[in-house]
Each structure stands twice: as structure tokens, then as C-alpha cells.
A and B are shown apart, each in its own frame.
Chain A
Amino acid sequence: MTAASFDIAIIGAGVVGCAAWRAFTLAGLDCVLLEREADIISGASKGNSAILHTGFDAAPGTLELACVREGYRQYRAIHERLGLPLLETGAMLAAWSEEELEKLPGIRAQAHQNGVTDVTQITAAQVRAREPGLADDVKGGIWIPGEALIDPWSAPLAYARQALANGGTLRLNAEVTSGSFSGGAWTLNIKNTAPIRARIVINCAGNFGDLVEAIARPSPFTITPRKGQFVVYDKPAHDLVQSIILPVPAARTKGIVITRTAFGNLLVGPTAEDQPERRLATTGSATLNALHEAGCRMLPALSGMEITTAYAGLRPATQFKDYQIEALPAQNWITAGGIRSTGLTGALGIAQHLRGLYEAHFGTLKPLPSPLWPRVPNLTEALPRPHAQPGRSEIICHCEMVTRDEIAAALASPLPAGSIGGLRRRTRCMMGRCQGFYCSRRVLELAAPHIPGLADA
């Protein structure tokens, strides 16, 4: 078999892979993105808290901090051109005990050291003034005005669609099983299809990062996926808080967050559970109930609100705290591993860093003079949505107000939904309070011709 040949092969179409694909395609290289699943954003990037982080709490001097700061800056710079939302809520880090209260000055100092200089410490009364719904025992807080909400699926989709529009190549259902490096190029063997040749390989394989790394070298890091479970509340709960409510971080995790979502829901999570499973993020009834109870303790009115659903995500945690990003110049290989919990914000900064590594080791880049900027459909109430437009098509999903035309568009090119999950993430259909009770038939009528196996068991 003759192998298609590329400048760069990126393994893994999560948010980091999509951002890297975009960056190198816009930098003028012929770039292929390889994804083992039937759709992009099917792994670690599928379930997160959908926050655009300032980096106020990142460890000083780390690559993570640099990438988060740069990613934050770039998202703000490009989101409007890609049609991506940005909801400026700010975040309130709340202390619930004297012990936590004592940590606040240090958190503020670290934020300032990290360059997030608008972070302030505020009193319990000021916390309550901003967030009257919080329980009475809140002791004080840190106000981080720059934290914001974004759409966690449309962002990587937008990066990918821009790469695609500007000549990038996408291969779905393309699991890289092995590879060999000779004559200055990699041959990557792909399960059930022809191999691919590429001058440079970039490993963005998320929860499979250490396994993919082993193609190039014994992996210096081991991934133990850290599961985070979330509970989603129905839209009437959205107004119970005004901002993102963050906890005082513990040693290992940022702890349980209460946040609005860009789609008008309220979210409580995540947990942090080290576990061996890399692909399937399972929910656990007892854990979810405990999350709900924790949420109700901090925000008492939550107890009267309806739960919409729950989900779980897997963060590619390693034995190291920082991102594991480096170039292997002798092997034409770049590693972007261990992007554990800040990947959504960090992705554009990571991609920028990867470009720097490429230029340092592998050659100069000639950015496209006038790239295309395709816009993704808006799914949030922050921007106009089709259901509110004159001449709208029939509303199929009543909970999330998704029209027939939006679903049809997500099933058509470019980068159509490759799974029912992909369709849900692209449109929000079946994501609301009824979870498909009212709309499954209509969604299937539209989706079944495009996605096999849904309605013909």
C-alpha cells in the first residue's frame, strides 16, 4: 500500500490536537490529524468544567502557567472571528473555614505573581453581596474577575474546522497502532487502513499519551487517568450563582466547583478519582449523590432544583504536575502529554508552544497569508440563536431549543457529527432536562441516515 504523506501527523483529536492541527495548518504545513474514534473530541476533552482559566492558581514558573496564560489571551483574541462565545462571569474562590481563610492571602499573592493582577481578596460580607445564594458560613473569598465561561465543544470544533477549511486533513476511525522512523520520516500504521507517512509526529493522544509515546521511546511519563464526575442542573438553577464558585484548592485537585455553564445550566463537580480506565468515563451513583450534597451545602437553594444529568471526564494525569511537552529533534517527534485539567484553556497556548518547538528544531514556518475563518454555530444564549430568528425551522429539541436546520447542518459537511454524542455536542439536542424523552424520534429521523446503527437494531 502506498502511504499518504504529510509534513506533520498529529495523533489525537482532542482540544490540544485540534488546536495544534489548526496552528500548523495556518503555519503553512500539510498536516493530518489522526483520531481513533468516529468523531473529534471523544476522549479527555469531552468532559470538563468549560471554564476559561486565567491561570491565577497555576504553579509559578511552569509550562502549564505559560500555556494557560497564552491560551487565555489567544482565545480572547480570536473567539469572535470563530463565532465562539465568552461569558464574563468572573470567579469567586470561597473559603469555608478559618483554615481556608488563612490560605487566601497566599492565593492572591500567587495570582499576582502569575500576572493576574486584578485578583483581590474580599470579606465574607463582600462575598455574600456578590453571591447571596451561598451558605451563611462562607468566611471570605478571592475575586478573580477574568475567569469566564466558554463552550467546551464548539471551541475545539472551531479550531478543527478552521484547520479543515485551510487545507488540513482529518482521519477519523484511525487508531495508530505502531510506527517506524527511517529516512527522516515516520510511517504510522493505522488499524484497518493504510499507513500514513509524515516528516514529524506530534503526540496529542491524551489518555493514551504514554502508549503513543512508546512508539518513539520508552515513555518518560505514565498516565493514570483522573476521573472527574459532574452533576448538571436544569436552567432554573442557573441564576443561583452569578459567577464561578471555586473552592480553596487542596493538594491534588482544584476541588468541587459550582459554576454556570455557557448553555444556561448549573454545574457541580468535578471529583478527582485516579483509576486505570483510559477510554470509558463511568459515572457512580454514590459519588454523584455526594456531589449533589456537597453542592447543596455550599448553595442551599440547589436542593430544590432539578438535576438534568451527570457526566464524567478523564483527565490525562501523570506522575508530574506540569505538562509534559518536549521535542525529540533526533526522532522528528514532539510530545504534548499530561495535559490534565487546563487543556481547554491551555490548548491555543500549547499549540503556540509547539510551533516554537518546531521552529527551534525542524525548520521555519511560512504562515498562510490570508487564512479562512469559518464560524461555528452558536449554542449559547450569550449570542443570537436560530430559534429566535424569523423563519426558523421546526424546533426539534424543546429543552435546548434546537431547530431542525441546526441538526441538519451538524450532520452535513464540514466535519459532520460522527456519532450521536458528536451530534449532541454540536447542537445540544437531547442534552436538556428531558434527555431525549420528547425529541428522540425526531432526532433519529434526521440522524439515522448519517450515523449507522441508531434505529435499526
Chain B
Amino acid sequence: MHNVTIIGAGPAGLTAARVLLQAGIGGVQVLERNPQPGGLPRFCDHQGWGMWDMHRLYTGPRYAAELVRRAAGADILINTTVTALEPNGHLHISTPGGPEYLQSRIVLLATGIREKPRGARLVSGTRPWGVTTTGAFQEMAQAGQIPFRRPVIIGSELAAFSALLTARHAGIKPVAMFEPGPRILARRPGGLIARAVFGVPVRTNTQLLEIRGIERVESVLLARNGRPEELACDGVIFTGQFTPEAWLPRSAGLQIDPATGGPAIDNFFRCSDPAYFATGNLLRPVEHSGFAALEGARAAAQILRALRGELPPPQAAIPVTPGGALRYIYPQRIIPGGAQLQLYGRASHAHKGRLRAMADDTLVFERLIRILPERRISLTLPGAALAGRKSLAVILD
């Protein structure tokens, strides 16, 4: 039996593996379904990775390689797909040698995130070739595949600008970038840079109404400030609207938080079956890779405690729920105690107001904040504040 099996060799999973190895834990393996470890940064062939966790800047592929290098010594099994989770850390896996069944004392889920594709967005129109997501586009472009020359980019999260950078490298000239909301969502580089540097118009308050085209995309129908407008293009890149890749825990009946789309965890990263831990972008949409990597390290630290039998029993947890303009909050369960309790959330819309935490009926935290929906909300509570409490509500008024 293995001590720890990590599912997913991306920033969170590989960083967790590194921490476990450095602590001298044997029997750690990382299962990766792709032929190469490293996760999604492998295909983001521009600068911007590593600042948070490695304190220097890399391109995506260099960062991915560095994650793998730093996890050297871990048993990374590539081309290995987990097909089902069973209680108590039993896994069904598909390997090139055939199906296998294995057990691990602890399993860490670090399967990351994907963008919401056209299909799941229930978009109107025909279904021609040339409709893709940032992630798929970047991987194609890196391989020299050019599915379109003049696409439109839908969305304005950071991923949209990442798509723009990739397009520029590949000699693809996006026609325009569209954001349904009133403002650009990414903090940097923002609409100004997109307009000034790449000559790509960025239009806010613009909804995609319909995709048109028979074999290939021929145009899109847009509503600009409510007025319909057809725009010729040969591709559509849907960016952002990330979704945790959570079908394994969902199929296994682990508790899923409908607000995050990921497994619900306690403040030790434990899922509803305590043999399973979860970390990284699987937990919620979406953090940058550096945050996910550090979260992997934090989860690994708790796994080390679990292996030593130091974690409190999971039954002692109390529920944490979001309220008001708070879209989600995690961890979704907390075991009162410890020095500090760290919680993260997101607002459902741009909001200025009071963030407060209520332990049962008692106010235990309060802060005035002005927040945008894509920005992380973090709050730290003294562990003692929840002693003897039955529930915690975090509310954005």
C-alpha cells in the first residue's frame, strides 16, 4: 500500500509531491494521465509563471519543467488515468499495462481546472469547425496547428489575454475581444494594452448571440449595448469561466460544493471521505498557478500531519456557508481550534460593503471591503473564536 497517491501532476500536485519528499515520506506516487507531467502551464508559451512559488519569472513550459525538476525523486506515473475512486483511498486506474486497482493511505486530488467550452455555455447557432477554448488553442498553436486566422475572443479574464499573446506568437490576428460585462475582468494587461500593443479592439457590454457558419465559422452575431451586429471571423475562442475538473469526486459521491464546483473540504484539505484530500484549482475557479502550487504545499503539510495521526477527527467539523453577495467560501467545513483559520471566497458581483463572519449568532469578524468578482477575498479568524460553535456564516452585505 502506498502512503500518498497524488492525482494530477500540475503545479499543485507536483508541489505537494516535493513537500512530501522533502519531509522524507516514502511511498509517494503521482498519477498523470498525460504523457508529460507539468499541467496546463506546459502550453502557455509566454512569460508570467513562477513569481509566487519560485520567486522568479518563467515561461509556462519552463515553469512546468521546473516543477517536475523540483519534484525529482517522486514516482510520477504518466499515461495513467484514474477511472474511479472508492471509499478509503481505493482507486481504479487505467494504465498502458491494463486496468489496476490500488490502495493508498491518503489520496490527494489535484486534477485542476478547465475552461467552460461552447457546449456547456448553451450558445446559440451552428456548430462549425473553429470554435475552441484558450487551453486547447494554446496547445494547438504550440504544435504549429492553425485552426483559424481571424478569430474573436470571448471573455476578458486573464486567460483571454493569454490567448491574445499566443495568437500574436502564432501570427493569428484576433478580430476583437468581447466582454459581456461593463469592464475588463483581468487586472493586467487590460484593455488598454490589448488595444495599444496588439491592435485588437476590446469591447465591453457585448454579448455573443450566435455562432454562424456551415463547415467553418463565418461570423458571429453580437449584441453591442443591446444592438445586434454581425462580425465576420473564422474562429471563436471561449476564454475563462473555469470549472474544476471534479468528475471523479463527484462520481464517487464525495461532497461537492455547488458554489465552487469542486469538492468540499475542511480546514485540513480533507474531503467528506478523509482518505481523500483535495487542493489547487480543483477547489474552485480559479487561482493562478502560483497560488495553486502553494496550496499544494499547504495540503501536503496537512497530509504529513495526517500520516502522523495528528489531525483531529473529521466529525468535529462545523459547516461554513456563504451569504449575501458572497458567491462561495472555502474551506466548507472547519474544525474549531488552532491558532488561525484561513478562509477564501469570491463575491458574485462588484461590490462595496461589509464582510462579516457570524459564529452562530456572534460576530467574530468584520471588515469593510470593495471587491470585484474575480478577486480573491481572504479572511483570517482566530481559531479560538469558533470554540463551541455549531456553524460559521461568512456574509458580504
Contact = CB atoms under 8 A, between A and B. Distances in A.
Interface of A: 231-232, 234-236, 279-286, 288-289, 292, 304, 306-311, 387-395, 398, 401, 420, 433-441, 444-445, 448, 453-457
Given A288-B122, A435-B120, A457-B146, A306 B129 contact: no
Contact of A304 (B96, B130, B147, B256): B256
- Sorted nearest first, the 10 A-B pairs with minimum C-beta distance are A309-B119, A390-B98, A435-B117, A455-B145, A440-B136, A441-B139, A288-B122, A236-B250, A285-B124, A437-B114
Contacts of B251: 235-236
Contact of B126 (A280, A310, A389): A280
Contacts, number: 138
A434 B117 contact: yes
A436 B320 CA distance: 35
Contact of A309 (B81, B115, B117): B117
Contacts of A434: 114, 117, 245
A454 B123 contact: no
B133 interface: yes
A37 to B, nearest CB: 10
Contacts of B35: 394
A388 B258 contact: no
Contact of B148 (A387, A435, A457): A457
A307 B118 CA distance: 11
Contact of A455 (B33, B124, B140, B210): B140
B115 A437 contact: yes
A235 B117 CA distance: 16
Counting chain B CB atoms within 10 Å of each CB, which of A236, A288, A391, A393 scores highest?
A236
B59 interface: no
Contacts of A390: 97-98
Contacts of B214: 279-280
Given A236-B247, A395-B94, A440 B129 contact: no
Interface string B118-161: 11101111110110110111011011011111000000000000
B117 A394 contact: no
B216 interface: yes
A454 B129 contact: yes
Given A401-B94, A457-B234, A441 B143 contact: yes
20 contacts: A231-B122, A234-B247, A281-B126, A283-B122, A283-B125, A288-B122, A289-B122, A389-B98, A391-B98, A401-B81, A434-B114, A434-B117, A435-B118, A441-B143, A444-B140, A444-B143, A453-B216, A454-B129, A455-B140, A457-B235
Nearest to A435: B117
Contacts of B125: 282-283
A309 B94 contact: no
Nearest to B96: A392
Nearest to A277: B126
A394 B79 contact: yes
Nearest to B125: A282
A207 B348 CA distance: 46
A395 B33 contact: yes
Interface of B: 33, 35, 79, 81, 83, 94, 96-99, 114-115, 117-120, 122-127, 129-130, 132-133, 135-137, 139-140, 142-143, 145-149, 210, 214-216, 234-235, 243, 245, 247, 250-251, 256, 258, 261
Given A282-B124, A307-B119, A401-B83, A392 B136 contact: no
Contacts of B133: 435-437
A441 B119 contact: no
Given A234-B247, A401-B94, A285 B139 contact: no
A436 B130 CA distance: 12
A283 B211 CA distance: 10
Given A292-B122, A438-B135, 9 more contacts: A235-B247, A285-B122, A304-B258, A401-B83, A401-B94, A434-B245, A435-B120, A436-B132, A437-B114
A1 B146 CA distance: 39
Contacts of B210: 282
Nearest to B33: A398
A448 B145 contact: yes
B119 A457 contact: no
A370 B256 CA distance: 55
B195 to A, nearest CB: 24
A438 B114 contact: yes
A401 B160 CA distance: 29
Contacts of B129: 420, 453-454
Nearest to B150: A457
Contacts of A282: 124-126, 210
Nearest to A231: B122
B234 A391 contact: no
A236 B85 CA distance: 13
Nearest to A291: B122
Nearest to A288: B122
Nearest to B144: A455
Given A236-B250, A285-B123, A401-B81, A388 B99 contact: yes
B145 A441 contact: yes
A395 B79 contact: yes
B115 A455 contact: no
Contacts of A231: 122
Given A436-B132, A437-B114, A441-B143, A387 B94 contact: yes
Contact of B147 (A234, A438, A457): A457
A20 B35 CA distance: 44
Contacts of A288: 122
A354 B142 CA distance: 53
Contacts of A284: 124
Given A456-B146, A457-B146, A307 B136 contact: no
A439 to B, nearest CB: 8
Nearest to B133: A437
Nearest to B138: A441
B120 A307 contact: yes
A285 B94 CA distance: 37
Contacts of B126: 280-282
A420 B216 CA distance: 11
Given A457-B148, A457-B149, A433 B94 contact: no
Contacts of A280: 126, 214
Nearest to A229: B122
